[in-house]
Amino acid sequence: MLTLGYSALTGADAALVGPLFTASGSGISVDLDRTFLLMMVLLFALSVMLKPILFDPVLAIFAEREKRTDGAKADAREMQEKAGELLRKYERELEEVNRVAGEEREKVRAETARLEAEILEEARQSVGRIVDDGRARVQEEVQSIRFDLGRKSADIAKQAAATVLGREMR
């Protein structure tokens, strides 16, 4: 039999277990007899019997869960890395497409400006030809009218003189 007395305890331990001791100062008695040994043997036998039935399967389940969790985490990291790489590839391709589109846009602008200049030059030349043709026609008509006027001026002068003089001129 083991007996613990209040006087053997000091400090914080004495404050915690103080109420367990009686006012007389006697200690708690703990018997280490055969029942204690029997309990220990039964606990050991129970743990040996439950190990393959309960503990090992539960530990295997925990290990498998941990393995799957680690595998899932590794798969998630790998998928995240692939997604990041795909995103970087997409951004590079998008930049390339934007660059090519900008080059094409500049080519189209340059071609449009060149075509516009050509069309304007053709229009200027066409307008110049039309103006020149119109001037030539006007000049021809002026010459024709002058020629006709020159031929008819003598007749008109005679008529004017006859009207002014009141008699017919020959």
The mean pLDDT value for 72-100 works out to: 93
Angle, alpha carbons 80-62-48 (nearest 5°): 165
- Better pLDDT: 85 or 148: 85
Q: Which residues pair with 4 in a beta bridge?
A: 28
Amino acid at 141: E
Sign of CA dihedral 30, 35, 37, 39: negative
Q: Which residue has the tokens 């602008």?
A: 109
Residue boundaries of the structural domains of the chain: 1-32, 40-124
Pairing of strands 2-4, 28-30: antiparallel
What backbone phi and psi angles, to 5 degrees, belong to 28? -90, 140
Alpha carbon separation from 154 to 20, 27, 84, 145, 161 (Å, rounded): 162, 168, 103, 14, 10
**Residue 62 confidence (pLDDT) above 50:** yes
From the list 141, 163, 164, 160, the residue with the least C-alpha distance to 152 is 160
| Average pLDDT across the chain, whole number | 84
Percent of the chain at pLDDT > 70 equals 82
Can you give the pTM of this predicted structure?
A: 0.40
pLDDT score recorded for residue 23: 47
- Write the pLDDT tens digit of every residue in 7-49: 555 555 555 555 554 445 567 776 778 898 999 999 999 999 9
pLDDT score recorded for residue 166: 79
Alpha helices in the chain, H assignment, sequence order: 11-17, 34-50, 56-165
**pLDDT class for 170, splitting at 50, 70, 90?**
low
Contacts of 47 (CB under 8 A, 6+ apart): 55
Neighbours of 147 (CB within 10 A): 10
User: Distance (Å, rounded) from C-alpha 74 to C-alpha 66?
Assistant: 12
pLDDT score recorded for residue 163: 86
- Lowest mean pLDDT segment, chosen from 15-24, 81-90, 103-112, 152-161: 15-24
pLDDT score recorded for residue 99: 94
